[in-house]
Structure 1
Amino acid sequence: MLEYTGENPATPQSPIGSLFKTVAILRIGTGTLLLTRHAIDALPDAYHFLWNNQPWDWASFMAENNVPYAHLVAPAVALIVGLVAVFWVLGFLTRFFAVVFLPIAAGALVLAQKVGSPMVETCWLYIFAATTLLLFGSGAISLDKLFNLGQRPKKKKKPSY
């Protein structure tokens, strides 16, 4: 399991030391890359595309590749990518946003393969990262862990009389 590696799982762990022993490093790294490489550029462009009617590469690319309602899908994808990136970095609702992001990454994979883009490998890596986060959760250092989201409730022991 990715949550713990060590001698005795019952011993308390320091939160900083457990950062490198958990899936949190994958979540933070993937969220940071998604934010810096895609969302930072896409969100302002989507805003200007919607409100100022300026041309945008994503919308024209999707329209050229016969994506239905490309003028609505492109800004929605940009917004979803931005939200996923921020929430993955924070570690809040990680599994939910992994489910939300998987169709976006799969759609990007289909488009990248259709045009022969070198981004195919990147799409596959995002799909694998999202699947890993879906299966294993957010890791030790996250808001999910702080609020016990996605955790199974502990069974209370019955008092013995």
Structure 2
Amino acid sequence: MSEQVYNWLIQPAQTLLEQDKIKTLVFVLDGAFRNVPMAALYDGQQYLIQKGYAVAVIPGLQLLQSQPLKRLNLNTLAFGLSEIRGNFPPHQGFSPLINVESELQEIRSLLPSRELLNQNFTSDALQDLIRSQNFSVIHVATHGQFSSKADEDFYSGLG
């Protein structure tokens, strides 16, 4: 079964995973797959975990008891970066996020919000806002790279 599931899920994307140098695979499992140990998927020669991938498994969203927030008195902070900044690691090849401005505009049309966009999105401005106000909702629209080592994390707006 381990090899069959590998052939269904991983094998069709194997070339892309290698080309894009993907290091972490995230699985959102549901139904019968919920108890399948993804790290133990087998390609006939190696287990998935032996191939050097970090494997993360998260529950399906239907497992979470969600309750919509009341729109009354929601204090929202929306921040984003639609342009490339000099602090982007050059090896990442990040491109501009062209829809960030319309994304933040849509949030503004739905909820009263404070906004930090592009040149206004700085580490100091973000810290000042978070220290001075309590936000019910925080929306982030930017590139990021996350690692298990905090010193390797990168958030494009916070250089």
TM > 0.5 fold call: no
The answer to which structure has the higher strand fraction is 2
The structure showing larger relative contact order (alpha-carbon pairs under 8 Å, at least 6 residues apart) is 1
Scaled to the shorter chain, the TM-score interval is under 0.3
The alignment's TM-score, normalised by the length of structure 1, stands at: 0.24
